[in-house]
Amino acid sequence: MQTHIPRQPGSWLISDVRQSMIIREFQPSDYAPALVLWSDADGVELAEGDSESSILLYLARNPGLSKVAVREGNLIGAVLCGHDGRRGFIYHLAVKREERGHGVGKRLVQKCLEDLKREKIERVVILVDRENKDGLRFWTTGNWEEISRAIPFGIDL
């Protein structure tokens, strides 16, 4: 049994059989602990766009959309979320190893999707490393579909 209790704007207290967890907006002060979490997560590739200044700019361009999960004052999950006005994007979903399998990632994504829907975004895209078996399992069991005809391209500026 779990309950969702609204806290302050952009923050939810989620109680379940484990200890209470708060999901809230990703704040600039969350960057350092999120970076540690991302560095420890298989399948999260940190690159040139992941410097603190780049992430803070991303948060400013997409206010309130990225989320963190906190239990007993410790960051246990983080996700970056934004959109370009047409498509939503989710990046760097990561949950502490000992917290995995308890719905933390699912709840973070759910809050992101709710916020994107409020922004009138109808389609959300993620990139998952083909070698990331846990990530592939997470996203496919969440009813996400592989875009088999798409091949991602990129260029460093």
User: What pLDDT, on the 0 to 100 scale, is given for residue 108?
Assistant: 97
Residue 11: what pLDDT? 55
Q: Is 118 inside any structural domain?
A: yes
Q: What is the pLDDT of residue 152?
A: 87
Residue 149 lies in a domain: no
pTM, rounded to two decimals:
0.86
Is 21 inside a domain boundary?
A: yes
Helix and strand element counts for the chain (H, E)? 4, 7
Report how far residue 58's alpha carbon sits from residue 18's, in angstroms, rounded to the nearest whole number. 32
Work out how many domains the chain is built from and give that number: 1
- Those residues of the chain that have pLDDT short of 50 are 1-5, 15-17
In a domain, 153, yes or no: no
Domain assignment of residue 147, yes or no: no
C-alpha angle 51-108-114 in degrees, rounded to nearest 5: 110
**C-alpha distance from residue 63 to each of 12, 56, 68 (Å):** 17, 10, 14
Assigned domain for 154 exists? no
Q: Distance between CA 57 and CA 21 in Å, rounded?
A: 27
Domain that holds residue 14: 3-141
Residue at 78 is within a domain? yes
Q: CATH number of the domain that 71 lies in? A: 3.40.630.30
Q: How many other C-beta atoms are found inside a 10 Å radius of the C-beta of residue 103?
A: 17
In a domain, 72, yes or no: yes
Adjacent-strand bridge partners of 15: 3
